[in-house]
Structure formats: C-alpha cells, structure tokens
Chain A
Amino acid sequence: MMTKEDWNAVYFTVMPILGVGVSAIGVAIGLLALQRSQAQAAGVGSLEPTGYAPLGVNVPKVHYADSQVFVEVRNPREWHELREFIQPANPDVVRIMRSLYG
C-alpha cells in the first residue's frame, strides 16, 4: 500500500520528466513548421509531408539479374525493372506532351 508520501515522491519524479518530454516535442514541431515555411517561401516544392515511415516499413531493395536492375519500391515483393518507370508512350504522357507541344 502506497502512502501519500510515496505518491508525492512518484509525482515529483515523474512530472519534471514528463514536462521536459512535452516541451521537446513542442520544440520539434515548431522546428518542422519553420523548415516547411522556409521551403515554401523560397519556391521549393509545395512541401506537404504526409508523415514519416516507421523503420523497416517499405524499405526499397535492389536486385540485379541478366544485366537488368529490378527495384522493390512499391509493394513488398513487387519487383519492377528500372526502365519501366519511364513511359514515353503512355497515353496520358502523350496527351500532356501534345497539349504543350502546340
């Protein structure tokens, strides 16, 4: 059974640690907001981070085979040859290109 003094001791030990933790999170959020506003003011991107990946989630991998480079940069175990990401004949790509080409 904890006495009132025990509870007080726990309170005065935990609260300063909790306070420092909350302050640190506040400072980190402030710094991130500052970075974002600086980037936007300079015309670099419309920075809108959607979050940060937890470690180990969706980590890209590379696999070499038959002089080709395969990358796992979408779903796990979904391998794509690097050149697949450049699609000059894609109908949407051609449509945009023609609309700007005049």
Chain B
Amino acid sequence: MDSVAYKLWDWVCQAVQYRSDDGEWWSFPGETIRKLTGDCDDSATLLTSLLRSAGLDAYTVVGSYRGFGHAWVELDGKILETTYTYAHDVPDPQNYRAYAMFNDQEVIEMWPRAIGQLFEVARNECRKLTMMAEAQYDR
C-alpha cells in the first residue's frame, strides 16, 4: 500500500476516538477533525476525504459487517477499517458486505436502491465491535 495512504489511515485510526451515535448522525469531515470522535461512517468519510485530497482513488463503502450496518474505506480493492485503534489488515474480509460506495465524484450502488435497504439493516455498534474484536482474536 502507498505509504501516504497508510499514514493517513493510521492517523484516522489513532486520532478519531470511536463514539456511537444517539440515533443516526453523519458528521462532515471538518466536524470530525474538530471533535476527533465519531462512529464508522464519520471516520470512513474523513479518511476517504483525506485520501482523495492526496489524489488517491478511494471510496467510502456503506454496507454490513456480519449483518450489522457498517461503513469502511476501499482503496484499490482493499478494505481500510477505520474503527481500529491503529491501521492493520482486516482478518475477515468475507464478513464485509458492500451495499454502495461513494466519494466526491460518484455514487455506485451494488444493486438498484441498495442505499434505501442499507438503513433497514440492524444497528448494534457494541455487538458489531465485539465481533470484530473476536475476529482478531481468532486470527
């Protein structure tokens, strides 16, 4: 991976403290930088903005992780998980299911009206992060 991309990814992981929303609230990148807290969609859109600013072809992907709503970043087909406390490969990419991906240029839905279905996916941040932790223990 491009070293600039890795640095930006690691910075987001370390700088942005995970904080789940009350309900649903997507922050803009500038807001996340000021607060340095956010959930998966906040840190993913921030990292995508940083990578795009560096001229890289990155996307924020919205979808599910083992059945729970989630957001992450994709760069050259690689999953960049932004809820980790430092940048490292995901051990279980098969558990990530993309519904749609977007950046400042385009929105790509994996099937028609996929984003509409995205918000019907179950939300449980605590359970989701626990399953991610378990996946790392099992690695």
Q: Which of the residues A48, A73, A87 comes within 8 Å of B104, measured between beta carbons?
A: A87
Q: Is the CB of A35 within 8 A of B20?
A: no
Q: Is the CB of A39 within 8 A of B4?
A: no
Q: Which of the residues A38, A44, A51, A59 comes within 8 Å of B119, measured between beta carbons?
A: A59
Near B by CB (< 8 A), chain A positions 3-52 give: 32, 35-36, 38-39, 41-52
Q: Is the CB of A86 within 8 A of B133?
A: no
Q: Which of the residues A48, A89, A92 comes within 8 Å of B34, measured between beta carbons?
A: A92
A48 to nearest B CB, angstroms?
5
B50 to nearest A CB, angstroms?
5
Report A-chain residues with C-beta under 8 Å of the C-beta of B136. 42-44
Report B-chain residues with C-beta under 8 Å of the C-beta of A39. 126, 129-130, 132-133
Q: How far is the CA of A20 from the CA of B85 in the complex (A)?
A: 39
| Residue count of chain B within 8 Å CB distance of chain A | 57
Q: Is the CB of B84 within 8 A of A90?
A: no
Near B by CB (< 8 A), chain A positions 55-102 give: 57-62, 64, 68-69, 71, 73-74, 80, 82-94, 96-97, 100-101
| A2 is an interface residue with CB less than 8 A from chain B | no
Given contacts A86-B60, A86-B102, A90-B30, contact A41 B133 (CB under 8 A): yes
Q: Which of the residues B4, B19, B103, B126 comes within 8 Å of A101, measured between beta carbons?
A: B4
- In the complex, 13 of the A-B residue pairs with CB atoms within 8 angstroms, ordered by the A residue number, are A38-B133, A44-B83, A44-B133, A45-B83, A47-B126, A48-B19, A64-B116, A73-B25, A82-B107, A87-B104, A92-B33, A93-B33, A100-B8
Closest 8 CB pairs of A and B: A58-B23, A42-B133, A45-B18, A53-B23, A88-B52, A88-B53, A86-B104, A73-B26
